[in-house]
Amino acid sequence: MRRKLIAGNWKMNTDRASAVALAKGIVGGVDKYKAVDLLVCPPAVYLTFVAEVVRGTSVALGAQNMYHEGNGAFTGELSAAMLKDVGCSHVILGHSERRHILGETDAAVNKKTLAALAAGLVPIVCVGELLAEREANKTAAVIRSQFEGSLAGVSAEQIEKVVIAYEPVWAIGTGKVATPQQAEEVHADLRKLLTERYNGQSAAKVRILYGGSVKASNAGELLAQPNIDGALVGGASLKADEFLGIAAGAVG
């Protein structure tokens, strides 16, 4: 059985005080959700402050991005080791905002994924189609090519540690959520791609999250789908009650 993972991507939101308050609000309510893994991904500058709040609790800490090199002259970048050093266990990679606003390619996401795994961080590798691609019936092809490009060279042993997030770009921050059937179809395709590339046993262990306008009121039916193993949540992760409400949906 795959444990559900509810991950909050705070994006470029909060300030130091509200980040700490949000983390405290979440930590304060986790006792009811022991059956679910919870993760918060604050802006990098607040990682250390949030780390202090979540240390020793069941809430894990993640970053929203990293660079694939270990250290050196890469102005403005952060390495996997640095993220681990401040308490991160996870890192979101290839989020659609990084792909489409900041020009990140599958090749870059792939390097980061391999570096995260080598450093012992769990990469949450995001894939997802644009609205135009869905309308042109290209969803499956786009997902396959992002899967292949972003996860090239990941071994069967490593893939079991990877989390994949399916985030249709047209559903992110728009209030337009994919129907449970639309999401499940892509999740099942991803599971098939994993089985083809690796084997059924490894494929069955990989958690595939859905992201795109998830909130407490729609989480239950999305998370009830057989191949939806959690949620990557943006807007609704900025309120502790709402985020915990999504965790409640994962408990069922």
Shortest CB 222 distance to ligand PGA, Å:
12
Q: How far apart are CA 170 and CA 219, in angstroms?
A: 18
Position 183 contacts ligand PGA (CB under 6 A): no
Shortest CB 195 distance to ligand PGA, Å:
26
Q: With CB under 6 A as the contact rule, which of the stretches 32-40, 79-87, 152-160, 211-219 interacts with ligand PGA?
A: 211-219
Position 62 contacts ligand PGA (CB under 6 A): no
Position 88 contacts ligand PGA (CB under 6 A): no
**167 tagged catalytic:** yes
Q: Which residues pair with 232 in a beta bridge?
A: 7, 211
Residues in 92-121 that interact with ligand PGA by CB under 6 A: none
Position 29 contacts ligand PGA (CB under 6 A): no
Catalytic entry in 104, 129, 133, 167: 167
Q: With CB under 6 A as the contact rule, which of the stretches 24-32, 46-54, 106-114, 227-235 interacts with ligand PGA?
A: 227-235
Among 54, 234, 246, 250, binds ligand PGA (CB under 6 A): 234
**97 tagged catalytic:** no
